[in-house]
Chain A
Amino acid sequence: MFKDLLTTPGVAPPWLLGAIGKLKLQLFGATIDQLSGELTGKSSAAAEAGMPMKADATALPLIGNDRLITQGPNEPTATYRQRLRAATDTWRTFSGNDWGIMIQALSQFTGLNGATQPRIRCVSNSWVWNWFEAGADLTQPPWHAVKTWQWDTTIPPGSPDSGTPAQAWWRTWMSVESVGATAFATQWPTLGTGGQPTLGNLTTGSLGFTNVAPAFWNSLRAILETFRSKQTAIRWILITFSQSLINPGFGADGSHNPAGDWGYGYKIVSGQYQATWITNVLPVPGAFGAQNFGSPNYQSHPEFGYRIVQGQYVAY
């Protein structure tokens, strides 16, 4: 614009409209055009950088960092923009309750290894179940039931749960279902076998999982730690590979739901990991504010939730 304007007769003096003079004016005009173009555009982009619906995609993680909303590993940008836009509402309405915790967790599981939105449940020691069916509209309240839940009538010795009343109302569990189209994880065919027979492949998977890296669980735990009510201990995240497991439709029968003896996660028998309960449920330590994560074994592999007691791996 200025490039042409500056060389218009009447704007520029006649003595500057010779061949070189005109080109020189055009150069300065072009410079001003660049100023008003690039810098003005850049200035607008700077103003929009903090606005999730306007910002460049590269700005979204920074907005998320400020609003404490973390993008899922496979979450579409458009979805993430909407979650960032609603961040204040999310914090006000959903932080610290099951609904909000499940929304945050699903943002991480959905899309993981190509999975669609899985079924997710939260159940507390007060026997209160809340859950979303696979693919549910998360703007609608979760389903709700009061059904028996009995994780550990006997607290494992050496566990952080020692001294905890078996029915402590502040303990809660999350289960996420990995089946069919919602399969976000694959379990090792047999615990204690595979490329790394006891610990799994730490590059591509974590204990019990072939295709979910330890970093995923650490990231998920950090999100839950921020969003949980501070007094609530999300004791375990139970990954289920069957629709009938961790299910309020069944009782505390020991085959679908715990029957009071699930305090241990795994143990080693003859050099092999064995689940201490039914198959097709893999536990991942949750976010429960334990202060005694100081053992070297736990620190080295915090995604496991294990430590060695008398030569045996036991779960926290």
Chain B
Amino acid sequence: MSFTISQLFVPLPSGVVAGVTPTTVAASTWLFNEVQNGSALNLPVTSWQSGGVAWTELMITAVGMAVSDANISMHAQAAFLDFCATGTVVFPDPANPSGAPITVPVSPDPSIPAQNPNGATTWLDVLADSNYNVQRNLATFASGNLLFANTSGSSIGTLPAGTFHTANGFTGATYNNSASFTGSASTVLGTSVSSATAASPVVVTTLAAHGIGSDTTLYFKGISVLPDGFYLAHPTGANTLSLTGTIGTGSYAGTAGRVYQPVSLGFAADVIGPSSNAGPTQINTLVTASPGVFVTNLLAFSGSPYESNIALASRCRAKLGSLSLNGPKGAYSYAALTSSQLLAAQSPAKTLTSAITRETDSNSLATGTVTVTVANASGPVPGVAQVVITGATNASPIVLQMASTAGITTGMVGLVTGVQGNTAANGYWTMTFVDGTHVSLNGSTGNGAYTVGGQLEAGDIGLVDSIVQAYATPNGVTSVVQSAAALNVTIVATVYVPLAFLADYGTNPASNKGTVALTSYIASLPIGGVTGIDGATNGVIPYAKLIETLLQAGTTGGREYSMSVAGLLINGSGTDLSMGPTQVAVISSLNIAVQGV
């Protein structure tokens, strides 16, 4: 017996409506087939008593067969990447008094919390693992280090892991301590502050030597020329600190001011995924009440989302290209998009701040060079690849010279290779940004005069480039990884929903369903946008898709209730927004108002 794909994928419905004995039986249903069987046996099936045992038995059997048929449909679809990723199956739901069937995704997508909130294994995970040896990129918690200054003069804790909570002052996302710690009173530097200039920058003088040898972020309190807070202090003398980027006002007198040395503690978001991402200094609020304690984050916290079903299916196909030694397109795509897993498997393991979720590649007809452009869920990826080093000071710390330090930030880890003469520069280093052409290597000491050579790979871009070179680029071919460039996007709109669903959609512009859905959509847009929209010759952010996304966000119980969207503007315009081929959309402002009608 042969079945077409259509027959396999689309199960026959039962033909049964719960609680209703049919007077006529719809064709192409299991109940219809049973009646046909009965007719073939000359049984007066259609004249049996409504609600009688015979009908009920037929209906039960029909539902059972329809359920089996739906299961077969699911198994059949699960054999193919696209259907496994996005296919659905309609199951009869005898328990539903309305008789309405339920639609179930073949593989509930963990990137859509409503479908698969806990990231449970799906058919697609099984197919990808078994047939392609490809594993889904899992979501991660946004994490990093917080500076912790305890100015209370007394110790708090010991606090077990997960018991001290802080929050992002802008988004409200919360974080907890990754390890047990005791919040000892912070060390006061230089006894107290004897003077502070109301200048730009503020210069603070301590009574005693402060003991700070290099640029350090410290907590300053009670110094009237500037607000209490964390500031980057540049030591200009044994007792003086210049506070980078500050402008003093008023005057300072007395010795009430204090300079505290914070400690660095590991924290991670309470909620998995990128919703808890935080920019530098945004995590500045205590949830666990602790008077006199202050926190901040110097570097961004980034978490990765679950890889979507569509992305996983696409990566399975790209895996085929990675089988080749000749570097077809799929090899580059697979290496970049799998880089977080490949780096984690290295010894020692390396970690991206956020997994690469988007990739595009191009080749230059003029040079033959392959350029791989990547983005993560937040947009541009930090770091640089293949930066040519032109100098390395024979000093402590070593200062590298290059044409441009664009893309390098303080705290970034970089790999220096190929430096001749001052070979102590080679290796992994945490770096400090110096200026537009120089970075220093923290803790390094030169061992000779620089002669020639050297390359720097830093941050996530550097790590991804190392993977692309190792796993995709054939011998003799030049390839390089670069970050997609941010295209900042401002979106405003008003969504109208029935009053009865206003609470479900939510009215808070920061967290309503439309805001969440649009944020997720923009984070999934490919580099360069969507092509082939409205005859556009380049990629765009499609205007109509944003409206559709806002409307579909208003769904409950499988039904869409949103009524309309008005005043939608993307960067001030009511049309598709064009994107460059290596641009990635980043939301700079999102204001979705919701009104009940």
Contact = CB atoms under 8 A, between A and B. Distances in A.
Interface of A: 20, 23-24, 26-28, 30-31, 34-35, 37-39, 41-43, 45-47, 49-50, 56, 58-59, 62-63, 65-68, 87-88, 91-97, 160-164, 168-171, 225-233, 288-291, 293-296, 299
B498 interface: no
A63 B193 CA distance: 74
A243 B152 CA distance: 91
30 contacts: A23-B42, A24-B54, A26-B41, A28-B57, A28-B61, A31-B37, A34-B34, A41-B3, A43-B75, A45-B1, A45-B3, A49-B8, A50-B79, A56-B2, A63-B80, A65-B80, A65-B81, A65-B82, A66-B81, A66-B316, A87-B320, A91-B323, A95-B323, A96-B324, A229-B477, A230-B327, A230-B479, A231-B477, A231-B479, A289-B363
Given A46-B8, A230-B363, 8 more contacts: A41-B1, A45-B76, A47-B75, A50-B79, A163-B365, A229-B477, A230-B332, A232-B363
A16 to B, nearest CB: 12
A230 B333 CA distance: 11
Contacts of A28: 57, 61
B43 A23 contact: yes
A233 B324 contact: no
B330 interface: yes
Nearest to B313: A66
Contacts of B49: none
Interface stretch (B64-72, B220-228, B556-564): B64-72
A231 B363 contact: yes
Interface string B22-63: 000000000001100110111101000000001001100100
B500 interface: no
Q: What 3 A-B pairs come out closest when comparing CB atoms?
A: A96-B326, A50-B79, A170-B368
Nearest to B11: A42
B83 interface: yes
B578 to A, nearest CB: 11
Contact of A294 (B80, B321, B361, B537): B537
A160 B2 contact: no
A38 B1 CA distance: 8
Interface in B307-328: 316-317, 320-321, 323-328
Contacts of A299: 537
B597 interface: no
Contacts of B538: 294
B365 A290 contact: yes
Interface of B: 1-8, 33-34, 37-38, 40-43, 45, 54, 57-58, 61, 64-65, 68-69, 72-73, 75-76, 79-83, 316-317, 320-321, 323-332, 361-363, 365-366, 368-370, 474, 477-479, 537-538, 581
Nearest to A45: B3
A271 B61 CA distance: 74
A34 B104 CA distance: 25
Contacts of A31: 34, 37, 58, 61, 65
A38 to B, nearest CB: 7
A49 B76 contact: yes
Contact of B68 (A35, A56, A63, A95): A35
Nearest to B363: A289
A91 B324 contact: yes
A204 to B, nearest CB: 24
Secondary structure of the A contact surface, majority rule: helix
Contacts of B80: 49-50, 62-63, 65-66
A42 B61 contact: no
A88 B68 contact: no
Contacts of B537: 293-296, 299
Contact of A62 (B5, B33, B370): B5
B331 A230 contact: yes
Contact of A233 (B2, B38, B365, B474): B365
Contacts of A97: 326
Contact of B365 (A27, A68, A164, A169): A164
B365 A288 contact: yes
B327 A289 contact: no
B37 A27 contact: yes
A222 B479 CA distance: 22
A228 B72 CA distance: 38
B133 to A, nearest CB: 11
A229 B328 contact: yes
Contacts of B82: 62, 65-66
Question: Among A37, A41, A58, A230, which residue has the most Cβ atoms of chain B within 10 A?
Answer: A230
B245 to A, nearest CB: 40
Contact of A56 (B3, B361, B369): B3
A230 B2 CA distance: 41
B69 A42 contact: yes
A42 B370 contact: no
Given A56-B2, A164-B365, A229-B474, A27 B81 contact: no
A10 to B, nearest CB: 22
Nearest to B74: A46
Contacts of B6: 58
A21 B326 CA distance: 72
A169 B2 CA distance: 51
B329 A23 contact: no
Contact of A91 (B37, B75, B321, B327): B321
Nearest to A47: B75
A232 B537 CA distance: 24
Nearest to A23: B43
A45 B323 CA distance: 30
A35 B73 CA distance: 15
A163 B79 contact: no
A66 B317 contact: yes
A183 to B, nearest CB: 31
B528 to A, nearest CB: 10
A215 B432 CA distance: 55
A27 B34 contact: yes
A68 B320 contact: yes
A88 to B, nearest CB: 7
A67 to B, nearest CB: 7
A224 B522 CA distance: 31
B65 A39 contact: yes
A23 B332 CA distance: 66
Nearest to B319: A91
Nearest to A95: B324
A260 B47 CA distance: 87
Contacts of B38: 27
A265 to B, nearest CB: 16
Contacts of B40: 30
B451 to A, nearest CB: 31
A291 B531 CA distance: 14
Contacts of A290: 365
A230 B361 contact: yes
